[in-house]
Amino acid sequence: MKYKRILLKLSGESLQGEKSYGLDAKVLKQYAYEIKKVVEQGIQVAVVIGGGNIFRGAQTVGSSIDRVQGDYMGMLATVINAMALQSTLEKIGVFTRLMSGIKMEQVCEPFIKRRAVRHLEKGRVVIFGAGIGSPYFTTDSAASLRAIEIEADVVLKGTRVDGVYTADPEKFDDAEKFTNISFQEVYERGLNVMDMTAFTLCRENNLPIIVFDMNSEGNLLRVVAGEEVGTLVH
């Protein structure tokens, strides 16, 4: 296996599957099995989940809800998703711990770096909920930050698209996929890998990102094994 400790970022939207809102049990199960395959190879797995399937802070613009309040609502949404994934993983025999950027004693542990690393060393999947616990950030930023803190080898961004393209492949037929691209080139071409805060954190700390299709069976394991799946940003 190429990577020993990974941080997997899953968007909230991906968890809604074919639905227009909320959680799809089928997708949860599918992702849990993908994660299990990797854990069985002795890989240490941390997960950051988004909340876009339930609530995004940006939705509050022009509404009666204050933006900061909205961002906290978004963070709580990520905890709902994290709890759903935790249960699904446990149901198939994977040991997990849920850590949150916002204190919520009854459902999760607070995020403490040394503790997170200890869980990983014991083979538990550590799920990070509530982003970084501060408004005006995204869960992509949380993924980059937590990955750096726990010294992960790589951030794996599981999406619907199988990598980084010269243009949006869902809109442009002639869009070409990169198998490999530098941080500098992503920046110069203005490509959308992660938001700028998240991207810059990875770049400044030399943390590679792999964008790949999480919905293809076995893909996560292939990425971890070092196969050329998706796009490596380095």
Binding mask 150-179 for ligand UDP (x = CB under 6 A): ------------------------------
Where residue 230 falls (left for φ over 0; alpha for ψ -120 to 50; beta otherwise) is: left
- The residue number with the shortest CB distance to ligand UDP is 50
- In degrees and rounded to multiples of 5, residue 10 shows phi and psi of -115, 135
Three-state DSSP class for residue 167 = coil
**Nearest one of 154, 152, 109, 156 to 128, comparing CA atoms:** 109
135 belongs to the binding site for ligand UDP (CB under 6 A): yes
**Complex with ligand UDP: residue 56 or 97, whichever CB lies closer:** 56
Task: State the binding string over 10-49 for ligand UDP (x if CB under 6 A, else -).
Answer: -xxx------------------------------------
> From CA 158, how far away is CA 146, in angstroms rounded?
16
Tell me how far CA of residue 110 lies from CA of 11, 51, 156, 176, in angstroms. 21, 19, 23, 42
Member of 74, 129, 158, 163 binding ligand UDP (CB under 6 A): 74
Min separation Cβ 223 and ligand UDP, Å: 19
Residues at the interface with ligand UDP (CB under 6 A): 11-13, 50-52, 56-58, 70-71, 74-75, 77-78, 131-132, 134-135, 137-139, 141-142
